[in-house]
Amino acid sequence: MSSLSPSPSPSPNPVVNEKTTTTTTSNANSMSGRTTAGEEGARRFSSAESQNTATPMVRDMPPPIAYGFMHHRNSILAYVFFVLFCNLAAPCILFYVLRDYTNLSMQNLIGISSAALGLSSCFDSPFRMWKLWKHWDEYGPLGDDKKWHLDSFMWIYSTALTIMAIPLAVASALDPPLEDFFLMTTPMLVGPLGLWFFFSLYPWRLPFRISSDPAGTRIKPAIFYIIEDVGAVDARHGRPYRKALHERYAASPPFQHIMWTQTLFWAVGCVIYVGVTAAVTWTATFGFAFGWVLGQFFVWLLVWAVASVFLYSYGLKRERRWWAERKGEKAAAQIA
């Protein structure tokens, strides 16, 4: 590429110089260590953007989201195992073994099980908050320089965990213990999420910031914010991922419908889970309901997640078809 000002002594062999410069740059990059997630994500977003944009102003396909989660599959599997052990295996083993082979009172049994049930939340929530706080410039919401704002997932998850802790602390503190109240622990975790899902289905204007959306903008379906926050922070895709997701939502009406449908689907699922859990709690014996309620929570998550993936895939097919029809209409208009 030509220089803007003439060089006093031009190189007799520009090809060799270009190769040398390229080699030097490559070596410098290899010695600089790993790049940040934000820089890497920006390059991927820029590359995908250039490949999928027909013109600077008019698109023939939706803005790309060139990110995935499979590169973290080992971490995801380890976390799932940790959650299952702390919130299903350990409480059930402790409760049934101690009930059958010791003379501990029901109050003590529930107290021990409560301690095991709240173990995972003592690690994952503080660790996520620390990671978001420390790497705010890399993972934080767009256009927000105040760390204490956190993101929407951090706020709703912390609120749900706080509400969930109430039956864990109160049920075993009384004598006799509140057995039915203890069994409503997981519905008190799911309930606040379900309320948020339902409230976000109507596009009211935000009185305060939610993730990358400032006050005064219309709220997006709650699943959109969860995907944005989990992808940016937990999957370490950073702010480029937030930007790509917002651009996709703004440019693609079918993608907006996907987010709305997913939010409604999970909202209905929360209602079903809370209703079934309440029915089991009030009709079955405590010895049976204890294991059933804890196991039912993870079975419900698995079934609803699998169904959600199929629903999302169907929505993406409809989105591709919508953009293809739009492209055909534009081509027909140009011919006419």
Is residue 43 included in any domain, yes or no? no
Q: For the chain, what is the largest distance between any 2 Cα atoms, rounded to a whole number of angstroms? A: 94
Distance of CA 329 to the CA centre of its chain: 36
Is residue 330 included in any domain, yes or no? yes
CA distance 289 to 185: 12
Q: For residue 117, what are the domain limits?
A: 70-335
Distance of CA 282 to the CA centre of its chain: 33
CA distance 159 to 188: 10
Flag residues of the chain having pLDDT under 50.
Answer: 1-57
Q: What is the share, in percent, of the chain residues with pLDDT greater than 90?
A: 60
CA distance readout (Å), 117 to 2, 26, 62, 113, 158:
67, 51, 43, 6, 16
Is residue 16 included in any domain, yes or no? no
Is residue 14 included in any domain, yes or no? no
At 336 the pLDDT is: 67
The torsion of the CA quartet 184, 300, 260, 205, rounded to 10 degrees, works out to 20
The number of distinct structural domains making up the chain is 1
At 77 the pLDDT is: 86
Is residue 325 included in any domain, yes or no? yes
pLDDT tens digits, 16-70: 343 344 444 444 444 444 344 444 444 444 443 443 333 333 567 788 887 766 6
Is residue 266 included in any domain, yes or no? yes
Is residue 166 included in any domain, yes or no? yes
Is residue 56 included in any domain, yes or no? no
pLDDT tens digits, 272-296: 999 999 999 999 999 999 999 999 9
Nearest partner of 291 among 156, 138, 95, judged by Cα: 95
